Structure 1
Amino acid sequence: MDEIERFQSARWISPPEAIWRIYGFILNEIYPSVITLQLHLEDRQIISFQKSDNLTHIMNNDFKSKTMLTEFFNINRNNDKAKKLLYKEFPEHFVWNKRDKIWIPRKQCQIIGRIVTTNPIEGERYYLRLLLNHIRGPKSFEDLKTVNGVKTSSFHESALLYGLLESDNSLEQCLQEASLYQMPYTLRRLFATILVYCKLNNPKMLWNKFEIFLSEDYNKMNTVLSNLTIKTLQSVNSTLELMGNNINDYHLVDYNIDLNEDEK
């Protein structure tokens, strides 16, 4: 098989892309730039090392354990400007130096920060991200677990005391963010996961708000409008049943998101 010939014969360029290339416009530049911010639980960061390295030395090397998040906490202890910022706002005012693993003040350019996404099924990591999106200037993981002088045992408990879980706002934000880049099938799995693992006050409200994103692939398949909701609900219900094999029996009717009698 001639892979080069196969690639050339299979490649197709649309007229807009052809014109774009003829005029020499930039094809893949993103402005403003987006930086991905690391997210990990305490002492759970990823550390890279060579096969021949001494593991004891690596474990005792503080520099190896430094990450964007740990240094975010460190700079908040001494920098008054940093204390006013959320973690996701940090790249707008500071630059991450990869070589020295340190945040330094930004002098030019515009950049946007995005914290690595998480799923509610991840538990504490999900609630850590929730806290980082709302609490300004935390100085440590323990600081995030302290609410009005009261030390909590988990990020989940801390989020409860901050009032971040009193409504479905955090889960709505989770779905809203995922709907920007997740494929509909993956989005339906996330919706099912939220139903199973999170305590929703009004699941039907979330369904009504995100149904258009959950059913986007069926809509593009020119599915009849009357069958669109049915197909989407059946897909979510199938995922719930698969989860039920390992936990309990879950169905959409348990969440007051079911079909009317005619649709059944």
Structure 2
Amino acid sequence: MSVFGLKEEEQNDEVACYHMARYISSNEAAWRILNFFAHERHLTVVHLAIHLDNNHRVYFSAETARERVSVLRPTTLSAFFELCRGDEFASTRLFPQVPNYYTWDMSKKKWKRRVQGRFVVGHSEIRRPDALGRVYTLHPNDVECYFLWMLLHTVRGPRSLLVLLAVNETLCET
């Protein structure tokens, strides 16, 4: 909407000026008519690392180089494999679904069950808030990692990278 006018006296009605200058696009109008949340929605998004065995991304300085190389810290992926070995519920989930039910503890570098959110039907001890897991995207030219990415979106509850490399009980090299 656009309004143009000429007046001799200056009118200082801020509310009227706001309403006259406000623009609502068709997208915003549809969201408001359908009662969707347009603002004040803050979802937790957890970025999930993906890497081949012993190909962790490592950040170091000159002082911490020896320590970082000698002890590889767990990543979200390696901790997911460990979680699937010890938690029956986690072994029924895909890698991108883990942040829906577990939180990533940065200090301990491990997954722990969520304590907030709605209870999951059939599992009285498991909660699910509004959280999303996002696996870093990979280019198909990085063939090994790309197919690992695809497997992690298909195979439920893998206990290790070797489980993903096994086809009909035959261990494949790639």
TM-score interval for Structure 1 and Structure 2 normalised by the shorter chain: 0.5 to 0.7
After the TM superposition, which of the residue ranges 71-80 and 106-115 deviates more from structure 2? 106-115
Q: Aligned with 1:130: secondary structure?
A: helix
**Within the alignment, does 1:69 sit opposite 2:77 as a pair?**
yes
Aligned with residue 131 of structure 1, among 151, 154, 172: 151
Structure 1 position 30, deviation (Å): 4.7
Cross-structure match for 2:98: 90
Q: Which has the higher strand share?
A: 2
* Closer/same/farther in 2, CA of residues 91 and 52 from structure 1, 3 Å limit: same
Q: Aligned with 2:163: secondary structure?
A: helix
Give the TM-score normalised by the residue count of structure 1.
0.45
Query: How far apart are the structure 2 equivalents of 1:16 and 1:98?
Result: 43
Structure 2 gaps of 5+ residues are 1-20, 25-37, 117-128
Structure 1 position 153, deviation (Å): 1.1
Structure 1 position 29, deviation (Å): 5.7
Q: Aligned with 1:120: secondary structure?
A: coil
Q: Aligned with 1:121: secondary structure?
A: coil
Tell me, yes or no, if the aligned pair for 2:46 and 2:132 is still in contact at 8 Å. yes
Cross-structure match for 2:52: 41
Residues 134-190 of structure 1: CA deviation (Å, up to 9, x unaligned): 000111111110122111111xxxxxxxxxxxxxxxxxxxxxxxxxxxxxxxxxxxx
Bigger Rg, which one: 2
Tell me, yes or no, if the aligned pair for 2:100 and 2:130 is still in contact at 8 Å. yes
Cross-structure match for 2:68: 58
Q: Aligned with 1:77: secondary structure?
A: helix
Query: How far apart are the structure 2 equivalents of 1:78 and 1:112?
Result: 22
* Closer/same/farther in 2, CA of residues 84 and 46 from structure 1, 3 Å limit: same
Structure 1 position 50, deviation (Å): 2.8
Aligned with residue 32 of structure 1, among 43, 48, 55: 43
* Closer/same/farther in 2, CA of residues 110 and 53 from structure 1, 3 Å limit: same
- The one-letter code matched in structure 1 to 2:134 is R
Structure 1 position 15, deviation (Å): 4.8
- The one-letter code matched in structure 1 to 2:68 is I
Structure 1 gaps of 5+ residues are 1-13, 18-26, 155-264
Query: How far apart are the structure 2 equivalents of 1:153 and 1:37?
Result: 24
Query: How far apart are the structure 2 equivalents of 1:65 and 1:151?
Result: 26
Cross-structure match for 2:113: 105
Aligned with residue 138 of structure 2, among 108, 118, 136: 118
Cross-structure match for 1:149: 169
Q: What is the aligned residue count?
A: 129
Give the TM-score normalised by the residue count of structure 2.
0.67
- The one-letter code matched in structure 2 to 1:81 is F
Q: Which has the higher helix share?
A: 1
- The one-letter code matched in structure 2 to 1:35 is V
Query: How far apart are the structure 2 equivalents of 1:85 and 1:136?
Result: 5
